[in-house]
């Protein structure tokens, strides 16, 4: 095997290993609830629609009818930690010769959502029917706000090297860092002792005003 | 010799940085739910609807099951190694007075990793359902 082929093989193996490693975290799963249906011998499609809207409004946001007069209603939860809704419910009304039939279908993202699709559908259906226990649904966890300023408990922000102002580091909420040339690493902070994993491990000390990091061959100042 | 080792290490670092950069980009998994078609079929029975619903779900998601004895059919998509599924669909059949039935399609997907959106799943279900005679 030639030297060049060997190098390409090593590079390919490194890429595959890194991608498998990065992709190994299990994403959330869809939890689905089907099966609750009410049939009413009395009432009209518009009455069903009014109750559908009211029952969805009680637990979710953005209730809307898929097309005016269709009787198909849906709504979603507040945004979860990823910035998108983690629960949705659909209530579908259909007018019969006498009365109407209504079905309830729900989907939630687990484990991001704090309640199951069954719990949501039961609550919406019980509210619609006006009977049955309503369980309080836990609030959707909201995204953690990015710290601003020079927080003493975090290194989040932009740091500039005192020795070379062209060298900057952007440190993120999740412990990630990227320098001005796109090279990435990680940071952690315990008390005033910071560790940067960036071309090796470096131990630095955070100043009392949380603006300066010194040690490990680096001297950095945070923009804040 | 030292120069060769340094060059190789540098190439490996750049390669790993690129690979981590590409693969580590956070994919925002979003929950997608779709209110699919609703069709009224006047010349069929609810058992016809049941058969078609089951077959359509098997064709699209690979499985199907009736919720009790309700004529409401559901299926979840293929599961990954952790036992998680990222797509699901429901087909509701309901008999009408005087014959015929009404059928509805409702779908959910988490994209990524589900390859199809909820809208596409519902469209495929309606096509498979309607294509059976």
CATH architecture type of domain B30-130: 2-Layer Sandwich (3.30)
The 10s digit of each residue's pLDDT in A31-52 is 999 999 999 999 999 999 999 9
Can you give the pLDDT at residue A219? Answer: 94
Structure tokens at A74: 């849906």
Sheet strands side by side (includes B101-111) = B30-41, B101-111, B87-95, B72-76, B65-66
Structure tokens at A7: 């190098």
Sheet strands side by side (includes A29-40) = A29-40, A100-110, A87-95, A72-76, A61-65
CB A46 within 8 A of CB A52: no
Count chain A–chain B contacts defined by CB atoms under 8 A: 138
Residues in chain A with CB shorter than 8 Å from the CB of B72 are 34-35, 37, 103
Q: What angle do CA A10, B27, A65 make, to 5 degrees?
A: 155
Q: Which long-range contacts (CB under 8 A, 24 or more apart) does B92-96 make?
A: B92/A34, B92/A37, B92/A92, B92/A103, B93/B46, B93/B49, B93/B50, B93/B53, B94/A37, B94/A94, B94/A101, B94/B46, B95/B45, B95/B46, B95/B71, B96/A96, B96/A97, B96/B40, B96/B42
* Spatial CA neighbour of A26 closest among B83, B7, B102: B83
- Cα-only R_g, chain B: 23
Q: What's the rounded Cα separation, in Å, for the pair B27 and B35?
A: 25
Can you give the pLDDT at residue B86? Answer: 95
Percentage of chain A beyond pLDDT 70 is 86
| Low-confidence residues of chain B: pLDDT under 70 | 1-28, 133
Alpha helices in chain A (DSSP H): 3-22, 45-57, 117-129
Nearest chain B residue to A78 by CA distance is B31
A66 touches chain B (CB under 8 A): yes
Domains along chain A? Answer: 29-129 (3.30.310.80), 157-222 (2.40.128.290)
Q: List, as ranges, residues 17-36 from A with C-beta within 8 Å of B.
A: 18-19, 21-23, 26-30, 32, 34-35
Q: Do the chains contact at B31 and A103, CB–CB below 8 Å? A: no
**Interface test with chain A among B73, B108, B118, B119, by most A beta carbons within 10 Å:** B108
Can you give the pLDDT at residue B83? Answer: 85
Place of tokens 């039935």: B101
Please give the ipTM for the structure prediction: 0.79
Q: Where are the domains of chain B?
A: 30-130
Burial of A10: CB neighbours in 10 Å, binned 0-12, 13-18, 19+: middle
Cβ neighbours around A223 below 10 Å, total:
10
Structure tokens at A140: 């959707």
Q: Do the chains contact at A30 and B35, CB–CB below 8 Å? A: no
Q: What's the rounded Cα separation, in Å, for the pair A102 and A68?
A: 17
Q: Report, as an integer, the average pLDDT of A1-8.
A: 58
Residue A179 has pLDDT above 70, yes or no: yes
Burial of B21: CB neighbours in 10 Å, binned 0-12, 13-18, 19+: middle
Percentage of chain B beyond pLDDT 90 is 65
DSSP assignment of A137-166 equals PPPPPPPPPPP-S--TT---EEEEESS-TT
């Amino acid at each position: 095997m030639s030297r060049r082929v060997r190098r390409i093989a090593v590079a390919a193996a490194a890429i595959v290993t890194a991608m498998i490693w990065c992709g190994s975290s299990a994403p959330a799963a869809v939890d689905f609830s089907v099966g609750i249906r009410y049939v009413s011998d009395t009432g009209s499609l518009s009455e069903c629609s009014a109750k559908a809207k009211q029952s969805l409004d009680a637990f979710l946001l953005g209730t809307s009818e898929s097309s005016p007069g269709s009787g198909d209603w849906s709504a979603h939860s507040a945004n979860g930690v990823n910035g998108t809704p983690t629960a949705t419910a659909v209530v579908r009304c259909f007018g019969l010769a006498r009365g109407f039939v209504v079905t309830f279908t729900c989907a939630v993202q687990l484990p991001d959502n704090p309640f199951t699709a069954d719990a949501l559908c039961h609550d919406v259906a019980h509210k619609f029917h006006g009977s049955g226990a309503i369980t309080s649904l836990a609030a959707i966890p909201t995204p953690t706000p990015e710290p601003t300023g020079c927080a003493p408990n975090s290194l989040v922000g932009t740091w500039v090297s005192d020795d070379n102002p062209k060298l900057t580091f952007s440190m993120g909420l999740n412990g990630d860092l990227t320098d001005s040339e796109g090279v990435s690493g990680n940071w952690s902070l315990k008390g005033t002792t910071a560790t940067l994993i960036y071309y090796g491990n470096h131990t630095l000390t955070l100043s009392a005003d949380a603006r300066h990091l010194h040690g490990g061959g680096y001297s950095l100042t945070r923009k804040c | 010799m030292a120069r060769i080792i340094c060059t190789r290490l540098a190439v490996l670092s750049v390669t790993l940085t690129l690979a981590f950069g590409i693969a580590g980009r956070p994919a925002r998994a979003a929950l997608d739910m779709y209110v699919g078609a609703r069709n009224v079929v006047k010349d069929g029975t609810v058992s016809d609807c049941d058969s078609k619903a089951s077959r359509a779900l098997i064709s699209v998601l690979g499985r199907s099951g009736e919720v009790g004895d309700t004529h409401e059919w559901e299926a979840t998509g293929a599961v990954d190694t952790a036992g998680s599924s990222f797509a699901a669909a429901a087909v509701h059949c309901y008999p009408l007075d005087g014959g015929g039935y009404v059928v509805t399609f409702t779908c959910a997907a988490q994209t990524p990793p589900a390859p199809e959106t909820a809208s596409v799943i519902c469209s495929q279900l309606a096509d498979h359902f309607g294509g059976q005679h």
